[in-house]
Amino acid sequence: MMVTRRALLAASGAALAAPALAQGEAAKVGLILPMSGPFASTGRQIEAAVRTFLRMSGESHGGKKLEIVLRDDTGVAPDVTRRLAQELVVRERVRFLAGFGLTPLAFAAAPVATEAKVPMVVMAAATSVIVQRSPFILRTSFTLPQATMPIAEWAAKNGVKSAATLVTDYAPGLDAERAFKERFTAQGGQVPLELRTPLRNPDYAPFLQRVRDARPEALFIFVPSGEGAALMKQFAERGLREAGIRLIGTGDVVDDDILNDMGDAALGVVTSHHYSAAHDSAENRAFREAYGQVASNARPNFMAVGGFDGMRLIAEGLKKAEGNLDGERLLAAMKGQSWMSPRGQITIDANTRDIVQDIHIRRVERRDGQLWNVEFDRVPQVRDPGT
């Protein structure tokens, strides 16, 4: 029976029929994450945050028990992500798809959500256009233009006149590059050099050497979560700081997960982002403490908060739909939700299904022997500028 359904699906691309409601059925969440491979830190962070949510808020919502079905897509193979999404919908009958560590993986799963009419919560990937790839997508992470514009403005207003850009060469990097250049040059800044590094096995040294030779006043960087350690090491070894080039970027490069290991090289780096583990609020203190219990005292990063809020969106949707598991009903219940997250006030815009949130400007400082992204300025309720 299963084989037949799947074969049919593969052969004809036929719509995935929603199975009939069953009494006492759990609400399954198909969680697809890179649990292995180069982006495994993203998977580890989000999975721990999902468990943190269930621990803090319980497993039953709207009379249904939330059940997590975790799959590892290895982070680098969109065809694998797509196959896993199909299997989760057809075989496991999940009522939500969630996770999606990188943009190409969210793109790959989007048509499955559309065909199956299953809400798909993007907890990590951050290219603007993702929410337009399926009317069933909702996002609890961030977008690169949303996070980039505030640092472009901050740099221009704080006397930086020229800035090179260095981004990872795929969709979110290109979003960041474009947003930075647009906003920085609109404020009178110049961008003398734009560099793109490969997504797979990047060697940052030759790129940073070119930046050093060009001698801009600042270097704007976007690299995906986890890559910041290698980049920061090369930045220090190539002597860019001594050459008077200051490092700025979105918060991805000074990811809270790996910041402590970067040492003095990271001190003073100014970035803009939607979450800092140092965010000063009761909600964040409670989140950090519970997360530490689930994840052997690890520190949550911005990926974790996307996973935590994604689960909240799912749980509240279930509650508002009164336990009805119909995908369209759940989607409608999830749109437009607004709440106080560990990062601050957030809204899932009812029309765009994208997140609206505060973006903070932060500086890396040492406090009590540890490195933190200390927030010192805030741009309230930023929307993705593309929507």
Which range binds ligand DHB by CB under 6 A, 71-79, 109-117, 123-131, 331-339? 123-131
What is the per-residue binding string for ligand DHB in 235-264, x denoting contact by CB under 6 A?
A: -----------------x------------
CB of 305 to ligand DHB, least distance (A): 12
CB of 138 to ligand DHB, least distance (A): 15
At residue 27, the 3 state secondary structure works out as: strand
- Tokens describing residue 246: 């200051």
Q: How far is CA 108 from CA 82, 84, 97, 173, in A?
A: 5, 10, 12, 18
Residue 265 in contact with ligand DHB, rule: CB under 6 A: no
Interface pick for ligand DHB out of 146, 148, 165, 225 (rule CB under 6 A): 225
d(CA 105, CA 231): 24
Q: Within positions 289 to 308, which residues make up the interface with ligand DHB, using CB under 6 A? A: none
CB of 228 to ligand DHB, least distance (A): 9
Residue 103 in contact with ligand DHB, rule: CB under 6 A: yes
CB of 4 to ligand DHB, least distance (A): 35
Q: In terms of C-beta density within 10 A (0-12 exposed, 13-18 middle, 19 or more buried), how is residue 314 classed?
A: buried
Does an H or E element contain 235, and which? helix 228-237
Report how many residues bind ligand DHB under the rule CB under 6 A: 11
Beta partners for residue 120, in sequence order: 97, 137
Which bin fits 244, alpha (ψ -120 to 50), beta or left (φ > 0)?
Answer: left
Residue 127 in contact with ligand DHB, rule: CB under 6 A: yes
Interface pick for ligand DHB out of 50, 102, 247, 364 (rule CB under 6 A): 102
Beta partners for residue 190, in sequence order: 162
- Tokens describing residue 386: 């593309």
Binding residues for ligand DHB, rule: CB under 6 A, are: 42, 102-103, 124-127, 172, 224-225, 252
